[in-house]
Structure 1
Amino acid sequence: MTETKPALVNFTVETFTNERDMEFHMAQASKRFEVFMPRFKEAGLKKITSTRIWNKEGKAMVGWVFEYENAEAYQACQTLWREIEQAIDVEDGTPVIRQAFRGIVLSQTTL
């Protein structure tokens, strides 16, 4: 295994009512990330990965992995996330259920 320095990871699952809402939300998220990326980078967010969860038949779900330098970077980004979430609630109107999980990277292997 490759050694890594401790980093904080957030994994968020978003569940939508249907595919159309999910696709609209993803398009809006892409636009917002373009605007916010420089601020996230400055605050210590290192990487964002989005995934389509496909093993839940009949559900429209997206998984997000957010990798931060450390816990301080995670905290610094919370204000930015609140700005984005407020815009989503006001502008998108897309019903979404979010579940967020945080953890510390124990190990990471690159093959």
Structure 2
Amino acid sequence: MPDAIAAQDPVAGFSGASFARMIADSPTLTICLRGLHDQREHRLAQALAEATGTAPDDITVQTAAGLLSTVHRILFRRIQDLTLAGHSNDEIARTIGAEATQAFDLLEPALADYAA
């Protein structure tokens, strides 16, 4: 995620004010966005399962993917909110960079030994 923030990648949420407003104002697009987040979580679970030699429906794989995906979804939403509040991408990147570190640090106790 740090690379995506530094690059102000649209996939991370840096979509611009008009696109962010369009998503925020459309229940249909908001549901579609949630579906994309769910697909990413599913793909992450598959990748973790493959990397650890476990089944994709293993509870540990599902939980690890869910935790990581939740942080990504929260940061994506935060970027959208800051965009809609009128902050520049540079300001948002600085804010989200620090917040991403804090958010992922919260996961370390839960995931530090995962797949070790």
TM-score, normalised to structure 2, is 0.35
Structure richer in helix, relative to its length: 2
- Give the structure-1-normalised TM-score: 0.36
